[in-house]
């Protein structure tokens, strides 16, 4: 979903993370990869003018913050 956007304005594109990664894993699922590809195809025009992409990921709050940070970075790279 894109909220905002337009010439030079920020846009918020959200994808449901629950189907992208298994619990405590950083490898993106096939369904997650398909979601990303579908989003890119759907929003190609808006994304082609992007000069910054910020990826936000949330992980498990029941474990150590440094562990979560490492898992979050691995997921972002995936």
pLDDT tens digit string along 20-45? 888 888 898 898 889 888 888 888 87
Average pLDDT, the chain: 77
Instruction: Please tell me the predicted confidence (pLDDT) of residue 6.
Output: 54
Q: Are 60 and 72 in contact (CB under 8 A)?
A: no
Partners of 2 in the β-ladder: 13
Q: What value does the mean pLDDT take over residues 5-19?
A: 68
Q: Which of 40, 43, 73, 41 is nearest to 56 (CA)?
A: 73
Please tell me the pTM assigned to this model.
0.62
Look at residue 2 in the predicted model and tell me its pLDDT: 46
The alpha carbon dihedral of 67, 68, 70, 75 has a sign of: positive
Residue 61 has pLDDT above 60, yes or no: yes
Q: Where are the beta strands (DSSP E) in the chain?
A: 2-4, 11-13
Band (pLDDT 50/70/90 cuts) for residue 54 is confident
């Amino acid at each position: 979903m894109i909220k905002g956007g337009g010439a030079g304005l920020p846009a918020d594109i959200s994808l449901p993370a629950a189907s992208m990664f298994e619990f405590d894993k950083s490898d993106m699922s096939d369904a997650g990869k398909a979601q990303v590809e579908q989003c890119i195809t759907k929003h190609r025009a808006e994304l082609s003018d992007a000069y910054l992409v910020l990826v936000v990921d949330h992980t498990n709050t029941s474990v150590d913050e440094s562990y979560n940070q490492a898992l979050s970075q691995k997921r972002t790279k995936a």
